[in-house]
Amino acid sequence: MAQQLSDKRMKEIFGVDVFMGDVFANESMKDHTTLRIGGPADIYVMTKNMLSLKNLLIALKDEGIPVMPVGGGSNLLVSDEGIQGAVISTGILNHIETIEESVDEVRLFVEAGAPLQKLVNLAKAQGYRGIEGLAGIPGFMGGALWGNAGSFGQEIGDIVESVTVIDIRGNVFSIDRDNLGFGYRRSTMPEGMIVLSANVRLKKDDPREVAKRVGDFLQEKLRKQPISQFSAGCVFKNPPGAHAGRLIDEAGCKGMRRGDVEVSSLHANFFVNRGSGMASDFLGLMEEVRGRVSKAFGVELEPEIKIVGRFGSAANR
């Protein structure tokens, strides 16, 4: 897609007057996902400010170039064939600041590119409670909001007041919590939106108590999840009344392997890339695991990871 743009239009889109940021053609997505899998994006862009992002979105829409936002690249499986169009990273937009503070609570402004662990560590240092259970979850705030990231009974949606987004026409607006539709690993934010920031509210607590809870949750994850290995997090959602990892384990899938992609022996709902894994291996392993769980328990597992790029219809079943 990148090569279809004229030199003149490229200068208009990425010119100094309308755009500040870094632009890469045919950028490997392996370098931008926690799984370390994925082919090239036609265009990969890191915008440095809001005006640049707005101008970029308007220009890409005029050209009919599809746009996909990417944050920290967790919870993401990218096709070996790559991504058509422009991938926009929000990673440079990573500011966190205090909006309002009282004796009992604090309101924070968090940009979409802020790593989730940056927010967790800030809360830990200051003694803000409400997100201790999110310790150890990779990725950025924007992705956490889209998928309502959570663990140990806490979810990012629990603390959100509002989210600011921008659409492909460059329009910016705010969505209140009541209209975000947070549920288990989901929100109802409209497709095509890019998250810019969120306002969140946290309660104040003893910093030592908050730090202890964060540490305990993190140690529990280190003990049970392959956090130090290349993965996309949990592959499947937990079905009602059950745990996907337990079903996968009891179906005999731990240690199963396709190429360099393996069902973790530590937690069966994590597939790890042993080094040179391919998306086709990952997808094939997903289908084999789903089939075994379906045969053993009559349960159809639903993907939790987002599958993007040039895949066949089997990817999104």
Question: Are residue 190 and residue 124 in the same domain, yes or no?
Answer: yes
How many CA atoms, within 13 angstroms, populate the side-chain half-sphere of residue 65?
27
Is the pLDDT at 80 greater than 90? The verdict is: yes
Cβ–Cβ under 8 Å, residues 225 and 245 = no
Question: Are residue 60 and residue 105 in the same domain, yes or no?
Answer: no
Domain boundary among 89, 122, 155: 89
CA-CA distance, 3 to 270, in Å (whole number)? 37
Is the pLDDT at 6 greater than 90? The verdict is: no
Q: Answer yes or no: is 159 within a domain.
A: yes
Is the pLDDT at 279 greater than 60? The verdict is: yes
The H-or-E segment that residue 105 falls in is strand 105-111
Residue 104: how many CB atoms within 10 A of its CB?
8
**Average of per-residue pLDDT across 303-312:** 87
Question: Are residue 63 and residue 134 in the same domain, yes or no?
Answer: no
Q: Answer yes or no: is 314 within a domain.
A: no
- Check residue 2 and give its pLDDT: 42
Question: Are residue 80 and residue 105 in the same domain, yes or no?
Answer: no
Domain boundary among 59, 89, 119: 89
Bridge partners for 97 per DSSP: 109
C-alpha closest to that of 195 among 158, 156, 231, 233: 156
Instruction: Give the mean pLDDT of the chain.
Output: 90
Q: Answer yes or no: is 65 within a domain.
A: yes
> Which range (48-52, 151-155, 222-226) has the least confidence?
48-52
Estimate the crossing angle of helix 7-14 against helix 50-63, to 10 degrees.
Answer: 150
Question: Are residue 296 and residue 274 in the same domain, yes or no?
Answer: yes
**Average of per-residue pLDDT across 114-133:** 96
Specify the CATH number for the domain of residue 103.
3.30.465.10
Q: Answer yes or no: is 315 within a domain.
A: no
Question: Are residue 63 and residue 148 in the same domain, yes or no?
Answer: no
Question: Are residue 125 and residue 204 in the same domain, yes or no?
Answer: yes
Per-residue pLDDT band at 316 (split at 50, 70, 90): very low
Cβ–Cβ under 8 Å, residues 21 and 55 = no
Residues in the chain: 317
Is the pLDDT at 83 greater than 80? The verdict is: yes
Name the CA dihedral angle for 81, 235, 117, 273, rounded to a multiple of 10 degrees.
-60
CA-CA distance, 46 to 53, in Å (whole number)? 9
Cβ–Cβ under 8 Å, residues 202 and 123 = yes
Bridge partners for 106 per DSSP: 101, 202
Q: Answer yes or no: is 232 within a domain.
A: yes
- Check residue 21 and give its pLDDT: 81
Residue 312 buriedness (CB in 10 A; 0-12 / 13-18 / 19+): exposed
Q: Answer yes or no: is 117 within a domain.
A: yes
Q: Answer yes or no: is 316 within a domain.
A: no
Question: Are residue 199 and residue 127 in the same domain, yes or no?
Answer: yes
- The backbone region for 139, taken as left when phi is positive above 0, alpha when psi lies in -120 to 50, beta otherwise, is left
Cβ–Cβ under 8 Å, residues 281 and 273 = no
- Check residue 191 and give its pLDDT: 80
- Check residue 14 and give its pLDDT: 62
Is the pLDDT at 76 greater than 80? The verdict is: yes
Q: What angle do CA 148, 55, 72 make, to 5 degrees?
A: 30
Specify the CATH number for the domain of residue 238.
3.90.78.10
Question: Are residue 7 and residue 108 in the same domain, yes or no?
Answer: no
Cβ–Cβ under 8 Å, residues 30 and 58 = no
Per-residue pLDDT band at 13 (split at 50, 70, 90): low
Q: Tell me the residue range of the domain where 232 lies.
A: 228-307
Question: Are residue 236 and residue 303 in the same domain, yes or no?
Answer: yes
**Average of per-residue pLDDT across 143-150:** 92
| Eight-state DSSP code of residue 32 | G
Q: Answer yes or no: is 37 within a domain.
A: yes
**Average of per-residue pLDDT across 54-61:** 88
Question: Are residue 121 and residue 169 in the same domain, yes or no?
Answer: yes
Max mean pLDDT among 18-32, 141-155, 204-218 falls in: 204-218
Write out pLDDT tens, residues 246-276.
999 999 999 999 999 999 999 999 999 999 9
Which segments of 15-75 are extended strands (E)? Answer: 21-28, 40-47, 67-70
- Check residue 271 and give its pLDDT: 98
Structure tokens at 128: 């803000």
What is the pTM for the complete model shown? Answer: 0.86
Write out pLDDT tens, residues 87-102.
999 888 899 999 999 9
Question: Are residue 81 and residue 100 in the same domain, yes or no?
Answer: no
Per the structure, how many domains does the chain have? 3
Specify the CATH number for the domain of residue 30.
3.30.43.10
Write out pLDDT tens, residues 186-211.
899 888 789 999 999 999 999 999 99
Domain boundary among 89, 108, 135: 89
